[in-house]
């Protein structure tokens, strides 16, 4: 059982063409591509739309003096993405 050669690949493509027909092949290719993209995004946890640095400044959160004492008593929450 060696690697798939050009002859085997051609036979598989001819069989796929016979089964699905030339009209449905572009749609199948599009569905396969979008499925692979969704799978990749699911594995990496990041899509093409998610940019860490989008060029816009992040808003600064300023805590009041009294809230620092209350937050010191609470343990810090674990970041769910750092696991």
pLDDT, one tens digit per residue, over 24-78 is 988 988 999 999 999 999 999 875 555 555 566 666 776 666 555 555 555 556 6
Residue 47 · residue 41 · CB < 8 Å? yes
pTM: 0.41
DSSP assignments along 52-69, one per residue: S--SSPPPP----HHHHH
Q: Give the separation between CA 62 and CA 24, rounded to whole angstroms.
A: 57
| Dihedral (CA of 31, 32, 36, 42) sign | positive
Residue 45 · residue 81 · CB < 8 Å? yes
């Amino acid at each position: 059982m060696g690697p798939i050669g050009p002859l085997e690949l051609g036979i598989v493509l001819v069989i796929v063409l016979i089964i699905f027909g030339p009209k449905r092949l572009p749609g199948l290719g599009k569905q396969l591509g979008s499925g692979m993209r969704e799978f990749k995004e699911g594995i990496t946890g990041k899509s093409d739309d998610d940019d860490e640095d989008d060029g816009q400044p992040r808003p600064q959160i300023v805590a009041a003096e009294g809230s620092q004492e209350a937050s010191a008593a609470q343990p810090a929450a674990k970041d769910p993405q750092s696991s």
